[in-house]
Chain A
Amino acid sequence: MEKTIDQICADALKEIETAKSKDSLNAVSLKYLSRKGIVTQFLRSISKLPPEERPKAGERANETKRLLEKAVEDAINSLDARSPAADSFIDVSLPGRSALPGSLHPITQITRQICDIFTRMGFDIAEGPEVESDYYNFEALNIPKYHPARDMQDTFYVSDNIVLRTHTSPIQVRVMEKRKPPLKVIAPGKVYRSDSDITHTPMFHQVEGLMVGENISFGNLKGILSNFVHLMFDEKTSLRFRPSFFPFTEPSAEVDILCVMCRGKGCRVCSHTGWLEVLGAGMVHPAVFENVGYDTSRITGFAFGMGVERITMLKYGIDDIRKFFENDFRFLRQF
């Protein structure tokens, strides 16, 4: 008795499985599936069977043929996948079809970094109007009309009582009017001053911070700002606090960081002082607390403010503040 079709199939599959190369697979294919192959021979031999057995045997033989063809093809493919033919490839260096992402404005990127640091410290974020009343921008912050401190900020006026906010500090007052201490808030946003040169633009961005409660001290202000500077720049960036004056804080301080360009040796960026002024800060002036109805015998707090452009320029080595608002695509795409 000749082999049954099932035996032939099992033999062939075993040979396919053990074939290690394309050539040996082709040989298996030739042996079983070619015109003179074993399966083909078997098919031909069906005509010799009794008529009632022929359909079933034929179907079975054809099925086997398809199965083996597929097995050989799969084996070749899987061989290919492991050791491809030299002429089967694509140029993987060509750029992909999907569009590249756009970029966020550098000011957005740095504002986010600043806000992230403070929100991780538990500060809430508050915002406020960009066109402000004289009261919120000045009076409530202890800067009465005709006070020389008004000369510290060149103000854009809409009318005698309406100004473009010169700082984000009015948000302090708006927040304190609505909420009772303790509170920790930062306020990012656009501010406006009528000044324009290589280090000033009539619009720029600030982040203001406020922390108010019982027993909040100047030492705490130093602690929070040191922590911030170390995260924003690095651990090696030392800080110094210098006495200064802001009408809405007392004591007031300017905060300098060790020049990030020259590490204190002195360079053009730091005007050869080794220090860079990056923050204004101080203990909230009792007059401001009185304006919002806080009990100054119990409540103390600190406030600080920084220019986002200034920090961005230091972080990214940008030399002209006006570049931020020219929106030259070639500039923006670098960030």
Chain B
Amino acid sequence: MKVSLSWLKDYVRIETDIHDLTSALTMAGLEVESIADPFDYLEKVVVGRIIEIKPHPNAGNLKICRVDAGDRILQVVCGAPNVKENLLAPLALPGTVLPDGSLLAECEIRGQTSEGMLCSERELELGEDGSGIMVLPGNLQAGCNIARAIGLSDYVLEIGLTPNRSDCLSVIGIAREIAAIQKFKIKYPDVRRPGKNKEIFDFTSVKIEAPEHCPRYAAALVADITVAPSPFWLRKRLISVGQRPINNIVDITNFIMLECGQPLHAFDFDLLAENRIVVRTATKGETFITLDRKERTLDPDMLMICDGKKPAAIAGVMGGLNSEIGSSTKRVLIESAYFNPLSIRKTSKKTGLSTEASYRFERGVDPGGTVKALVRAAGLVTEIGKGKSIKGIIDEYPLIQKTETIELSISATGRVLGTELDKSTIKSLLESIEFKVKNSGADTIKVTPPSFRVDIARPVDLMEEAARLYGYNRIPASLPLMQSETTQPLKTLALRENIKNIMTGLSFTETVNYSFICESSCDRLNLSSDDPKRRLLHVLNPLTEEQNVMRTSLVPGLLETMHRNLSQQTRNLNIFETGKMFLSKGNESLPEEIEMAAGLMTGGRYSQSWYENDADCDFYDIKGAVEGLLAGLNIDNVRFTKMPVELCSYTRYGYSAQIIAENKTIGIIGEVHPEVLGNFDLKQKAFIFELNCNTVLSLSGRDKTAGQLPKFPASTRDITIITDKNIEAMSVLEKINSIGEKLIENTHLFDIFEGASIPAGKRSVSIRITYRSSEKTLEDGEVNNIHKNITDRLTMEFGASLPV
């Protein structure tokens, strides 16, 4: 909402400095977002004195003037008939942006240099006279800035209004607040009451067929008007707040709306069929052309202002082309109405049309101000449009809008605010903004808000009014004395934070990617047509198609992050993310939200170092990280099993595994499929893992209990067998463990070897077994026997041989 200081001063005395005023408004809840001077476009326009006039050698109707611009004399080509020597006129210097948007530059006019422009009132939007240059009073100093010289400077405040303060969508509304803050009285414009004479009924009628949409509709009629440009004072008011003047009639309706917040509409009365108004809802499929020359299809929820035959305006939103005020308009019907805010809001949303009028109606205009605004507008139309007022107004008010009286407890107010405000303080605060206050008990008052405060409904609303006018900053801060029960920490949160800590300890850096991804990500991930990750939740109104669905995997985000970093020449990445993925259960229900953790490694295993040769990371690097993570999370007995080909989509078959604990698949790990890398435009290998935190949380886990430490020494024996390459090393370890030999304390894989002396298709697997008894020191012979047994079992089970 924009208001100018000079306009405010029409209604309230303002004595404080502009900065004190704006900060007082801000602290009363009307946040002043900016202060601007509406005449700052005149910055490079100065008072010029015409010293000498010569005819233009090449153009009879032009003259060459030498103009004193204060610090220098300029040559200006001018065609105005009223140029005279010694005349003072506004001189626009090069660099001026004229109100019509054009930039003035030094130029040649018919072969003669013009170093500026002598301007008319109209060219500077300072008046309507465009017939010649603007003549300035002779006592002004040449070179002075024009705005300062003729006292045009003003301040325009841009106020960020919260949606509840519809009463402040007007200059008077803001003036009222200033009056309350400064404890001055507001001066409303004089509006006489409409007389008893109802001449208007001889000409027209208003019929409201949908009172729930239109509780009140008032109309006035002015005849014999002349449509013309508005007088300067009116244009200036509109321009100062960024409104474009159109003609006197339309400008008056806009002026009244800006002044008191009541949107008005003016119809060309002679274009209304049967010269009457019918307020009804539209019929389905009906079409209508609005003032912006667009055809609108109507629906039965939309309220229309109709004449005897057809719609003439979309109520509260926009008028129709068929009754527009034009230069030939002679009689105008002025509408001032109170429409149901919800009805206007719905129509505005459905038509996609939001106007100054609809904005106010949907927030709630003053149902008590309908007639006042109408009478003031009719008076101005009669005066400025030089018309003849038809006596009387029509005021149809089938659904009276009542303002409820609210009982307020003084002690409750103190309790809620945390400071004692006494009754008289609260009373005077509320009265300063025109609330009517009556004593109703020792601790209570009865408060009736004015009709324009449609936001006040409950005692707390009154408490806020009292508090904001008293000053929030005067309420002392205090710490509450309240005990509340402490609950168990959230398991998901604890797990997530734990993962973050462990992963950063493992050299991974945390990323946060958007929860929405592009629908095409599923195809780019090579997901099969029945993959559950295709259960996409679509956003109806995404900002871009790149973000049109909620992610069903954290992997696309990580791959895109990898892409962005590679393009910044960051080649080595260890990154991870925790967050939700969303599996749709249809658009009408909440999706399944699954907490995930995922990581990605790419590039060198180490950053180039003095102690290690460069090597790219591989599967076992990320597996090591995952093992570290799981160990940190106290998840034991994890198996990594080769991922079946039908489950490999974005990971490469043969190079990916499922992560299994307690017979549940808690995640996957693997090399990103080369095709998927291509789909994400990536040119180096990447390795990923994904953990389903919900499944991890469902594991029963391990109780932490302290065991006895061994008392007797251990014996270790190594074993190396040669097996087929496709036998998983871990299955050899598992075999050893499955034998159930009680003396085996630990098995550890310490070497894998292929080539040289090992036959093709085979490899050697070396395992160290630790034997220990809890009762005695083991004898060599005993250990050797057990070890031989195990060796025999292994060679038999795996068809293995021993190295020669």
Contact = CB atoms under 8 A, between A and B. Distances in A.
A219 B516 contact: no
A182 B484 contact: yes
Contacts of B716: none
Interface stretch (B62-70, B114-122, B467-475): B467-475
A327 B460 contact: no
A146 B301 CA distance: 14
A328 B568 contact: yes
Interface of B: 26-29, 31, 162-165, 341-342, 345-346, 349, 362-363, 415-419, 458, 460-461, 463-464, 467-468, 472-473, 475-480, 482-487, 489-490, 492-493, 497, 500, 503-516, 537-543, 547, 550, 561, 564-565, 568, 570, 573-576, 579-580, 582, 587-591, 593, 606, 609-611
A131 interface: yes
Contacts of B539: 156-158, 164
Interface in A240-257: 240-245, 250-254
Given A124-B487, A222-B477, A223-B478, A101 B507 contact: yes
B478 A129 contact: no
Contacts of A89: none
B297 to A, nearest CB: 20
Interface string A314-335: 0000000000111111101100
Nearest to B609: A95
Contact of A192 (B479, B515, B565): B515
B164 A245 contact: yes
A120 to B, nearest CB: 12
A152 B565 contact: no
Contact of A250 (B460, B510, B514, B610): B460
Contacts of B593: 129-131
A102 B163 contact: no
Which 9 residue pairs spanning A and B have beta carbons closest together? A219-B418, A217-B418, A243-B29, A245-B162, A251-B464, A243-B468, A222-B477, A102-B509, A220-B480
Given A97-B611, A216-B480, A250 B415 contact: no
B618 to A, nearest CB: 16
A126 interface: yes
Given A108-B510, A219-B476, A226-B477, A251 B561 contact: no
Contacts of B506: 99, 102
Contacts of B31: 242, 244, 254
A266 B538 CA distance: 44
A333 B419 CA distance: 48
Contact of A149 (B163, B349, B460): B163
Nearest to A164: B539
Contact of B543 (A124, A149, A196): A196
A194 interface: yes
19 contacts: A102-B574, A103-B510, A104-B500, A129-B590, A162-B587, A164-B539, A192-B515, A203-B514, A211-B480, A219-B477, A222-B477, A224-B479, A243-B27, A243-B28, A243-B468, A245-B162, A254-B31, A329-B570, A332-B509
Contacts of B511: 105, 327, 332
Interface in A181-232: 181-184, 190, 192, 194, 196, 202-203, 211, 213-220, 222-224, 226-227
Contacts of A224: 479-480
Interface of A: 94-95, 97, 99-105, 107-108, 112, 122, 124-127, 129-133, 146-149, 151-152, 156-159, 161-162, 164, 181-184, 190, 192, 194, 196, 202-203, 211, 213-220, 222-224, 226-227, 240-245, 250-254, 283, 285-286, 300, 324-330, 332-333
Nearest to B476: A219
A324 B512 contact: yes
B591 A244 contact: no
Chain A interface, DSSP helix/strand/loop, else mixed: mixed
A101 B460 contact: no
A209 B621 CA distance: 42
Contacts of B512: 105, 107-108, 324-325, 327
A285 B362 CA distance: 22
B614 to A, nearest CB: 15
A146 B477 CA distance: 36
B165 to A, nearest CB: 7
B490 to A, nearest CB: 6
Nearest to B508: A102
A60 to B, nearest CB: 32
Contacts of B473: 240-241
Given A99-B507, A220-B418, A131 B29 contact: no
A219 B478 contact: yes
A122 B486 contact: yes
A328 B485 CA distance: 42
B543 A202 contact: yes
Contact of B416 (A95, A217, A244): A217
Given A130-B580, A328-B565, A220 B29 contact: no
B317 to A, nearest CB: 14
B490 A125 contact: yes
A203 B484 contact: no
Nearest to B27: A242
B460 A285 contact: yes
Contacts of A181: 484
B606 A218 contact: no
Given A202-B516, A217-B417, A146 B345 contact: yes
Given A159-B540, A222-B478, A104 B415 contact: no
Given A101-B507, A251-B460, A328 B477 contact: no
A95 B610 CA distance: 8
Nearest to A201: B514
Nearest to A103: B509
A220 B479 contact: yes
A251 B508 contact: no
A241 B542 contact: no
Given A131-B593, A211-B482, 15 more contacts: A100-B507, A102-B505, A108-B512, A129-B593, A131-B537, A162-B589, A215-B480, A222-B478, A223-B478, A241-B473, A244-B29, A250-B460, A329-B575, A330-B570, A333-B509
Contacts of A203: 514-516
A127 B588 contact: no
A245 B479 contact: no
Contacts of B28: 243
Contact of A127 (B487, B490, B540): B490
A261 to B, nearest CB: 19
B565 A131 contact: no
A196 B547 CA distance: 12
Contact of A325 (B27, B29, B514, B574): B514
Contacts of B477: 219, 222-223, 226
Given A157-B541, A190-B515, A202-B547, A213 B482 contact: yes
Contacts of A250: 458, 460-461, 463-464
Given A158-B537, A158-B587, A251-B460, A102 B510 contact: yes
A152 B543 CA distance: 17
Contacts of B363: 148
Contacts of A243: 27-29, 464, 467-468, 472
A159 B587 contact: yes
A251 B345 contact: no
Contacts of A253: 472
Contacts of A325: 512-514
A218 B537 contact: no
Contacts of B507: 99-102
Contact of A327 (B29, B472, B564): B564
Contacts of A102: 503-510, 574-576
A148 B418 contact: no
A194 B505 contact: no
A113 to B, nearest CB: 13
B417 A218 contact: yes
Contacts of A190: 515, 579
A202 B548 CA distance: 12
B107 to A, nearest CB: 37
A159 B588 contact: yes
